[in-house]
Chain A
Amino acid sequence: MAHSSASGATPTAAAGAGGITAKGLSAGSVGLLGATVIGISCIAPAYTLTASLGPTVAAVGTQMPGIFMVGFIPMLLVALGYRELNNAMPDAGTSFTWATRAFGPWLGWMGGWGLIVATVVVLSNLAGVAVDFFYLMLAQLFGNPELADLAGVVWINILTCLVFMVGACYVSYRGMETTKMVQYVLVGFQLLVLVWFAVAALLHFSNGTAFDALGFSASWFNPFLTPSFSAFAAGVSLSIFIYWGWDVTLTMNEETKDPETTPGRAATLTVAIIFVLYILVSVSALMFSGVGTGELGLGNEEIQGNVFAALAGPVMGPFAILMSLAVLSSSAASLQSTFVGPARTMLSMGHYKAFPNRFAAISPRFKSPGFATVIAGVVAWGFYAVMRVLSTDVLTDTILTLGIMICFYYGVTAFACVWFFRREAFSTVRSVLLKFLAPLVGGIILAVIFVTTLIDSTNPDYGSGSEIAGLGLVFILAIVLFAAGIVLMFIMRAVNPAFFQGKTLTKGTSRDVA
């Protein structure tokens, strides 16, 4: 009768007792292979490549493989900082809480906002890619190329996107998760199809049937041959997007079988696989298509936002439908799982009174952040619909905006790490490296990239070339999103000042814990 308490006794006391009430029964269920699969599915390489190859070539031309390699450095540095923060504050799991603890409510709020905005933008890009490939797949399935053109009709496109959003939102709201088996299959399939694509492209090259054969050159791997620093910055910003999600493997402590070694090994294995894959695909795409602006050239603005949609057919022939399946499944799975992040951040912000109370609501039936999930879906779709109408190439523009947003919230988090650990960072060599140097250098790189790309994006030729009043659409977009955040922050401050007065979540350093 150890667990019984009289009615009226504090239930929380009883809730903590008993062997089975211990948190996390599934803790330790993920091994090295499982963690690597999760890492790769976070990155969603098929989706990432189709969305980023074009814009990267537009920015840095043939230096793409080199840029992909350097681009990993800031990601690595920041992720190391992430891991330290995650170990120090395991109960707090978002840029919002970390940045608030380090810098106080104002920058913390903007850090959370940056993450939410980045998600909303990536959700709309994911949905856009999914819509394109959905109609492409229908066209391939029924042998009727006209079906693929439906994706170009704005209202059909926007409505299809709505259907996808509602579906993904509903799955998230129900608290359903893709099972391990589904993840394994999706990841295996993506890797297989991407390698197939690369090999087929190389075969076309050697048979002389490539679209615009470009001889391989070792200089492609030299990132310093990019034409200008602006181009370099844009390329690195895009590379951060392509590795985005990799940091998740480093922070999967609780779920892994051996928390000491598994996350590190999985992160290394993940990035090794991703490295090889990205280099293989980018080199073979360059050798097949060249960087020209011809029909299938990687420099062609028409195809840049969604490269595989244009290239899969000529490269893979009748098997192109496999590519459609791979990208569609990868972006659909990502679309669904990506809802989880902003929903939890908004819930957390609601809980600490940084957002209206309603965002803190947890569905009693599904135990999921119901209101926040629905809002994320509505906003992402609204954003997509507006972009579809405004931009001539919504996918390219959203990816470039995304690069800016990721730089911002990763940068804030990196500096939060440096500041939070300032009192203990110099105690050992290890902590000097991981708690100070790595996040500091990472943060500085991101800040430089952020400022450079923001300034460059004022040029109306930046991205798709859409402009408003002589300013590039990407710049307008980034500024509007930041300004909206600042305005909302002040409104929130006026309506409910508790968070901003430090009453709900306090500023501190790693040494404050008593």
Chain B
Amino acid sequence: MNRIANYVVAYEATSQGHDALELGVAMARLTDAELRICLVLQPVTAAPSKIYAASGDYEVLLADQAAEWLAAAAQLVPRDVRASTHLIWADSTSEGLLLAAAEHDSDRIVVGAARGGILNRFTIGSVANALLHASPVPVALAPQGYRATALTRITCAIGTRPGWEALLDSLAAFTEGLDVELRFVTLVEVDAARDKHSAAAAGSSGHLDAVLAHYEGLVHGHGSISTAVGTGSTVEAAVEALDWRDSELAFVGSSRLAAPRTIFLGITAHRMLHALPVPLIVVPNIPAAS
């Protein structure tokens, strides 16, 4: 089936929502996907208070305002990207986004992750956090202040523990036919005192070779592929030891603790996030059967 991919953009009229929109645009351009710009409002209830505050009037005003925000968001999308806007009523923002993703059979949800993070890096907001615990589709997190650029390289962070094949399958599906560089990295925590070329790092290099072989079995006619091992005394330091481009996108898998088909960000990935300067896509676990 020649289906056009679509991405749900978690929009709100804040810098965070803007970041998500920019990342959505960058990815839509790369993969010829469409954007579903979604703004979630919570149904207004009559508050249990002595003053009668009916929800009707307020809900109408709220919806008007939301329509204005969405119209402004649509103006931000460049002409070459197809986008539609959607106002969603749901009990919580994350629930609304998941509903939208199901409704549109979306391929991923794009959300601005940062608020108040330092140096353009990630701190995870409550919506992003909720999605990371429940989404059945990959979640793309835009760092604070992200602006769309042509994406030139995709980096996939691979662990050595079982389950990495699922991530590769997802990556292969995403990168099939794209003209971007690929890079596989593993992160190694080493004792600061020890040599960087330790046995662990060497083992990682061996692992990356296996990963490379697996990937080349999946995808044919890909662009250039490189591998790298990030070493450091902490996960954060290991991330920082690698070079990162502004035009880069990172992939990471879910924790093995996640229920099948949903995301759960593992401890390592969580810590990675704190040091990562580029957008990150978190891929759910896919059961081996499918």
Residues of chain A touching chain B, judged by Cβ–Cβ distance below 8 Å, are 1, 3-12, 14-27, 38, 41-44, 82, 86, 89-95, 97, 115, 118-119, 122, 175, 177-178, 183, 244-245, 247-248, 251-252, 254-255, 333-334, 337-338, 340-342, 344-345, 347-348, 351, 360, 362, 364-365, 367, 369
Q: A24 contacts B52, CB within 8 Å? A: no
Q: B48 contacts A248, CB within 8 Å? A: yes
From known contacts A348-B58, A364-B13, infer whether A115 and B85 are also in contact, taking CB-CB under 8 Å.
Answer: no
From known contacts A3-B104, A7-B83, A254-B55, infer whether A351 and B14 are also in contact, taking CB-CB under 8 Å.
Answer: no
Q: Which of B42, B51, B74 contacts A11 (CB 8 A)?
A: B74
- Kindly list the 5 A-B residue pairs having the minimum CB-CB distance in the complex, ordered from nearest: A93-B54, A341-B51, A364-B13, A11-B85, A341-B53
Question: Can you list 16 A-B pairs with a CB-CB distance of less than 8 A?
Answer: A4-B6, A4-B84, A10-B71, A15-B66, A18-B86, A20-B99, A22-B89, A38-B46, A91-B57, A91-B60, A93-B54, A94-B57, A175-B42, A247-B52, A337-B47, A365-B12
Q: B89 contacts A23, CB within 8 Å? A: yes
Contacts of B47 in A (CB 8 A): 177, 337, 340-341
Q: Does residue B56 face the partner (Cβ distance < 8 Å to A)? A: yes
Contacts of A245 in B (CB 8 A): 48-52
Q: Which of A12, A25, A345 contacts B89 (CB 8 A)?
A: A25
CB closest chain-A residue, reference B45: A255
CB closest chain-B residue, reference A5: B84
Q: Which of B17, B46, B73 contacts A252 (CB 8 A)?
A: B46
Q: A12 contacts B71, CB within 8 Å? A: yes
Contacts of B70 in A (CB 8 A): 11-12, 15
Q: State which size class the interface on B falls in.
A: 35 or more
Q: A94 contacts B63, CB within 8 Å? A: no
| Nearest CB on A from B44, distance (A) | 8
Q: Which of B13, B49, B83 contacts A338 (CB 8 A)?
A: B49
Q: Does residue B228 face the partner (Cβ distance < 8 Å to A)? A: no
Alpha-carbon distance A8/B83, docked complex (angstroms): 8
Q: Does residue B178 face the partner (Cβ distance < 8 Å to A)? A: no
Q: Which of B56, B82, B100 contacts A6 (CB 8 A)?
A: B82
CB closest chain-A residue, reference B53: A341
Contacts of B91 in A (CB 8 A): 25-26
| Nearest CB on B from A34, distance (A) | 11
| Nearest CB on B from A115, distance (A) | 7
Q: B42 contacts A15, CB within 8 Å? A: no
Q: Does residue B276 face the partner (Cβ distance < 8 Å to A)? A: no
Q: Does residue B67 face the partner (Cβ distance < 8 Å to A)? A: yes
Alpha-carbon distance A11/B66, docked complex (angstroms): 11
Q: B50 contacts A44, CB within 8 Å? A: yes
Q: B12 contacts A93, CB within 8 Å? A: no
Alpha-carbon distance A252/B52, docked complex (angstroms): 10
Q: Is the interface of B mostly helix, strand, loop or mixed?
A: mixed
Q: Does residue B43 face the partner (Cβ distance < 8 Å to A)? A: yes
Alpha-carbon distance A89/B82, docked complex (angstroms): 38
Alpha-carbon distance A340/B79, docked complex (angstroms): 41
Contacts of A17 in B (CB 8 A): 86
Alpha-carbon distance A42/B67, docked complex (angstroms): 32
Q: Which of B34, B37, B49, B82 contacts A341 (CB 8 A)?
A: B49
Q: Which of A15, A177, A360 contacts B67 (CB 8 A)?
A: A15
Contacts of A95 in B (CB 8 A): 52
Q: Does residue B165 face the partner (Cβ distance < 8 Å to A)? A: no
Alpha-carbon distance A400/B273, docked complex (angstroms): 58
Contacts of B55 in A (CB 8 A): 93, 254-255
Given A8-B74, A41-B48, A245-B50, 15 more A-B residue pairs with CB atoms under 8 Å apart are: A4-B84, A11-B85, A15-B85, A17-B86, A20-B96, A26-B91, A42-B48, A43-B50, A86-B56, A115-B51, A248-B46, A254-B55, A254-B56, A341-B52, A365-B14
Q: A4 contacts B82, CB within 8 Å? A: yes
| Nearest CB on A from B109, distance (A) | 14
Q: A122 contacts B86, CB within 8 Å? A: no
Residues of chain B touching chain A, judged by Cβ–Cβ distance below 8 Å, are 4, 6, 12-14, 17, 34, 36-37, 41-43, 45-63, 65-67, 69-71, 73-74, 77-79, 81-91, 96, 99-100, 103-104
| Nearest CB on B from A266, distance (A) | 12
Contacts of A115 in B (CB 8 A): 51
Alpha-carbon distance A485/B52, docked complex (angstroms): 20
Q: B53 contacts A3, CB within 8 Å? A: no
Contacts of A118 in B (CB 8 A): 51
From known contacts A8-B74, A11-B74, infer whether A367 and B82 are also in contact, taking CB-CB under 8 Å.
Answer: no
From known contacts A8-B74, A24-B89, infer whether A344 and B57 are also in contact, taking CB-CB under 8 Å.
Answer: yes
Q: B67 contacts A183, CB within 8 Å? A: no
CB closest chain-A residue, reference B67: A12
Q: B89 contacts A344, CB within 8 Å? A: no
From known contacts A11-B70, A27-B43, infer whether A94 and B81 are also in contact, taking CB-CB under 8 Å.
Answer: no
Q: Which of B43, B48, B81 contacts A337 (CB 8 A)?
A: B48
CB closest chain-A residue, reference B16: A365
Q: Which of A8, A26, A244, A365 contacts B43 (CB 8 A)?
A: A26
From known contacts A344-B58, A362-B61, infer whether A42 and B74 are also in contact, taking CB-CB under 8 Å.
Answer: no
Alpha-carbon distance A459/B122, docked complex (angstroms): 65
Q: A94 contacts B89, CB within 8 Å? A: no
CB closest chain-B residue, reference A352: B61
Alpha-carbon distance A43/B71, docked complex (angstroms): 41
Q: Which of A82, A92, A177 contacts B52 (CB 8 A)?
A: A82
Q: Which of A16, A90, A93, A178 contacts B48 (CB 8 A)?
A: A178
Most chain A beta-carbon neighbours within 10 Å: one of B12, B53, B91? B53
Alpha-carbon distance A289/B18, docked complex (angstroms): 64
Contacts of A344 in B (CB 8 A): 53, 57-58
CB closest chain-A residue, reference B76: A7
Q: A42 contacts B43, CB within 8 Å? A: no
| Nearest CB on A from B4, distance (A) | 8
Contacts of A18 in B (CB 8 A): 86, 103
Contacts of B67 in A (CB 8 A): 11-12, 15
Alpha-carbon distance A513/B58, docked complex (angstroms): 21
| Nearest CB on A from B180, distance (A) | 24
| Nearest CB on B from A343, distance (A) | 8
Contacts of B57 in A (CB 8 A): 91-94, 97, 344, 348
Alpha-carbon distance A347/B60, docked complex (angstroms): 12
Q: B61 contacts A14, CB within 8 Å? A: no
Alpha-carbon distance A92/B52, docked complex (angstroms): 12
Contacts of B43 in A (CB 8 A): 23-27
Alpha-carbon distance A122/B54, docked complex (angstroms): 18
| Nearest CB on B from A191, distance (A) | 15
Q: B82 contacts A345, CB within 8 Å? A: no
From known contacts A43-B50, A119-B51, A338-B51, infer whether A177 and B45 are also in contact, taking CB-CB under 8 Å.
Answer: yes
Contacts of B42 in A (CB 8 A): 175, 367
Alpha-carbon distance A16/B47, docked complex (angstroms): 26
| Nearest CB on B from A50, distance (A) | 15
Alpha-carbon distance A345/B52, docked complex (angstroms): 10
From known contacts A3-B36, A11-B70, A12-B71, infer whether A93 and B103 are also in contact, taking CB-CB under 8 Å.
Answer: no
Q: Which of A15, A20, A92 contacts B56 (CB 8 A)?
A: A92
